[in-house]
């Protein structure tokens, strides 16, 4: 069943994407448009005529635009039931015209409060009042009125209006559900923001997490499958996402991303942004198997790939600098296969090379992030059966000035540089985590083992002869001295770890016996 022909539309939007084309098509089909302030000016600038709502209501916009559409002549025209004679009679008695289409989206509250330094008053002014009321009124009366809250809905509305003059009940019902979800998400963002905002009159609450947590995500891409082919999967996006992330990244080339690609790219980006100077990281099965910092990105990339050349085949790469031609030439070397690369940009000549020369050029996914900034208030969410675990993300910088040498031997300056580098990497390795590094490049990784000594064995085996003279980082304390003995036998020269074991004295004594330098950081970096 199609509604009566759409004769009038109310349009008042913050996001004006695609609006002029949509409105022009409506006007061409004989629809009269009523609008307000900035939306009306935008339409007129694009040659689309629109009636001023205040002229229709006989009441001007007041309070600097705070009061514009909240008027019986507006809401009566939306809410009246076309199949009720009493509603129609009241409408005519009061000189109200009907509106069959309402196109409204809301002030950008989420984008406003995501800005650094936003004030309380600025946030308050981005709370939309009239917009949600218009949307809810149109959605409530969806039996007779069509509501649109997002530019992606315009095409389906125009297609039906063009064919039938109105929209189908099926479409109106779908748009109604999307409209109520939209206003609910909007209110959730406002509630969450003010629940966490410090009061001017008192200190901020010590409770960092709200009593009720509602996650509002919008489905983005449907993925081919999940971790395995028999598992279905999709990517959902946080509408308020800001900073550098995979959900805001632009894919420049390659096949569609898989579930596992996204997990690995996310890990690659997180590690790359945490490393100093030009840095490259190599991720395999969500663990770094190589990472390096250097004066140039090309040098860092070469050193990172040499961390574990066998595992680097079919890996995911992350960079903290735009990929230049020299780096692309290293990646295009024969014998190397890369699944995906994430970086804050690709030089035109590098992009051309990576999409033409290597044998894998048609499949490699190239992802560009506009920022390496960590999203503000970043938290980790992990689902368990029947619930959700929430924690602050482990992204805070380590306080190097609080590190403490606990052995007779102190690290050299060069060793300190490597220790800082290895410590930056180890927080991104699955526990129990051990990283060996030399020359600010990873040479061995032990990840996800049930005992720390097994992780040491694995890292040493991966490093081989490169372990001699390297430094070792451990994400948590050593419970016994056996790991120290194995590290010394492999040629490790200095160690960094959090400390805090009941056997710290035994571990320190083992380092002193072997002449090793050891530093305590006082902070653990478990990653389960």
Q: Is 27 exposed, middle or buried (0-12, 13-18, 19+ CB in 10 A)?
A: middle
Residue 46 tokens, joined: 């694009």
Contact 297, 278 (CB under 8 A): yes
pLDDT value of residue 376: 66
Domains in the chain, start-ordered, CATH in brackets?
8-196 (3.40.50.1380), 245-368 (3.40.140.20), 400-520 (3.40.140.20)
> What's residue 98's pLDDT?
86
Model confidence pLDDT, tens digit, residues 446-495: 998 999 999 999 999 999 999 999 999 999 999 999 999 999 999 999 99
CA 194 to chain CA centroid, Å, is 22
Candidate list 2, 140, 255, 486, residue with the active-site label: 140
Residue 234 makes CB contacts below 8 A (sequence gap 6+) with 219, 220, 221, 222, 223
**DSSP collapsed to 3 states, 45-99:** HCCCCCEEHHHHHCCCCEHHHCECCCCHHHHHHHHCCCCCHHHHHHHHHCCCCCC
Return the pLDDT at 299.
97
Check: CB of residue 354 under 8 Å from CB of residue 332: yes
Q: Where are the beta strands (DSSP E) in 344-462?
A: 365-368, 379-384, 387-392, 404-405, 434-437, 442-446
Maximum alpha-carbon separation in the chain: 98
Distance from chain centroid for Cα 424 = 21
d(CA 325, CA 370): 19
Task: Report residue 145 as tokens.
Answer: 């009125």
pLDDT tens profile 64-105: 666 767 788 888 889 898 888 998 898 888 888 889 999 998
- Using CA atoms, how far apart are residues 366 and 252, in angstroms rounded to an integer? 5
Strands of 146-148's sheet in order across: 51-52, 32-35, 8-12, 101-104, 146-148
DSSP one-letter code for 353: H
Predicted local distance difference test score (pLDDT) of residue 4 = 67
Q: Which two tokens stand for residue 228?
A: 């395995």
Among 285, 378, 486, 514, which one carries the catalytic annotation? 285
| Residue 521: half-sphere exposure toward Cβ, Cα within 13 Å | 25
- In this predicted model, what pLDDT tens digit does every residue of 313-335 receive, in sequence order? 999 999 999 999 999 999 998 88
**Please, is 70 exposed, middle or buried when counting C-beta atoms within 10 Å of its C-beta (0-12, 13-18, 19+)?**
middle
- Residue of 404, 431, 436 lying closest to 419 (CA atoms): 436
Give the whole-angstrom CA distance, residue 395 versus residue 378: 8
* pLDDT, tens digit only, all 528 positions of the chain: 556 688 889 999 988 999 999 999 999 989 999 998 888 899 999 999 888 888 887 777 767 666 767 788 888 889 898 888 998 898 888 888 889 999 998 888 888 877 778 888 888 888 888 889 999 999 999 999 999 999 999 999 999 999 888 899 999 999 999 999 999 888 888 887 887 765 543 444 445 777 777 777 778 888 989 999 999 999 988 866 766 788 889 999 999 999 999 999 999 999 999 999 999 999 999 999 999 999 999 999 999 999 999 999 999 999 999 999 999 999 998 889 999 999 999 999 999 999 998 888 888 999 999 888 876 667 888 899 999 999 988 888 888 889 999 999 999 999 999 999 999 999 999 999 999 999 999 999 999 899 999 999 999 999 999 999 999 999 999 999 999 999 999 999 999 999 999 999 999 999 999 999 999 999 999 988
Q: Which two structure tokens, joined as six digits, stand for 152?
A: 């992606």
Residue 285 appears among annotated catalytic residues: yes
Classify the C-alpha dihedral 325-331-335-339 as positive or negative.
Answer: negative
Catalytic residue list contains 140: yes
Q: Nearest to residue 103, comparing CAs of 31, 163, 1, 44?
A: 31
Buried b (16+ CB within 10 A) or exposed e, 101-138: bbbbbbbebbeebbeeeeeeeebeebbbebbbbbbbbb
Residue labelled with tokens 């076309």: 82
Closest CA to 153 of 178, 133, 184, 180: 178
> Nearest 10 degrees: CA dihedral of 190, 192, 194, 195?
150
Pick the closest to residue 520 from 495, 493, 497, 492 (CA basis): 497
């Amino acid at each position: 069943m199609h509604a009566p022909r759409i004769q009038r539309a109310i349009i008042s939007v913050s996001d004006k994407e695609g609006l002029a084309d949509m409105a022009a098509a409506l006007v061409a089909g004989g629809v009269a448009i009523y609008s307000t302030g900035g939306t009306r000016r935008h339409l007129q600038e694009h040659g689309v005529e629109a009636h001023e709502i205040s002229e229709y209501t006989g009441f001007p916009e007041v309070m600097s635009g705070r009061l514009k559409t909240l008027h019986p002549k507006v809401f009566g025209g939306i809410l009246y039931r076309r199949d009720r004679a009493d509603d129609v009679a009241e409408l005519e008695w009061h000189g109200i015209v009907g509106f069959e289409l309402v196109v409204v989206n809301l002030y950008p509250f989420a984008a406003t409060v995501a800005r650094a330094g936003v004030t309380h008053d600025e946030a308050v002014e981005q709370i939309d009042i009239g917009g949600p009321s218009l949307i809810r009124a149109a959605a409530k009366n969806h039996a007779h009125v069509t509501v649109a809250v997002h530019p992606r809905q315009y095409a389906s509305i125009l297609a039906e209006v063009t064919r039938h003059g109105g929209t189908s009940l099926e479409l109106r019902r779908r748009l109604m559900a999307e409209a109520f979800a939209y206003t609910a998400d909007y209110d959730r963002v406002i509630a969450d923001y003010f629940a966490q905002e410090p009061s001017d009159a008192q200190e901020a609450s010590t409770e960092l997490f709200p009593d009720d947590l509602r996650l509002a995500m919008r489905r983005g891409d449907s993925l081919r499958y999940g971790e395995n082919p028999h598992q279905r999967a999709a990517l959902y996006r946080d509408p308020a996402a800001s900073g550098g992330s995979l959900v805001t990244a632009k894919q420049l080339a390659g096949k569609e991303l898989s579930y596992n690609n996204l997990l690995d790219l996310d890990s690659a980006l997180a590690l790359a942004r945490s490393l100093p100077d030009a840095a490259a990281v190599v991720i395999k099965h969500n663990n770094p198997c190589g990472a390096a910092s250097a004066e140039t990105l090309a040098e860092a990339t070469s050193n990172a790939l040499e961390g574990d050349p066998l595992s680097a085949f079919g890996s995911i790469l992350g960079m903290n600098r735009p990929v230049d031609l020299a780096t692309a030439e290293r990646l295009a070397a024969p014998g190397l296969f890369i699944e995906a690369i994430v970086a804050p940009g690709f030089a035109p000549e590098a992009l051309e090379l990576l999409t033409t020369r290597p044998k894998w050029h048609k499949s490699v996914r190239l992802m560009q992030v506009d920022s390496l900034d960590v999203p503000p208030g970043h938290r980790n969410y992990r689902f368990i059966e029947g619930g959700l675990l929430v924690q602050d993300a482990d992204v805070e910088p380590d306080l190097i000035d609080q590190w403490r040498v606990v052995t007779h031997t102190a690290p050299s300056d060069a060793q300190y540089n490597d220790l800082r580098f290895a410590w930056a990497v180890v927080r991104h390795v699955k526990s129990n985590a051990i990283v060996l590094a030399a020359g600010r490049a990873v040479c061995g990784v032990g990840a996800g083992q049930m005992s720390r000594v097994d992780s040491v064995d694995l890292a040493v085996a991966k490093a081989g002869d490169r372990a001699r003279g390297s430094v070792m980082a451990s994400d948590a304390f050593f419970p016994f001295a056996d790991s120290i003995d194995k590290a010394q036998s492999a040629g490790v020269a200095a160690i960094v770890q959090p400390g805090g074991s009941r056997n710290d004295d035994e571990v320190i004594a083992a380092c002193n016996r072997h002449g090793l330098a050891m530093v305590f950081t006082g902070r653990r970096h478990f990653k389960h």
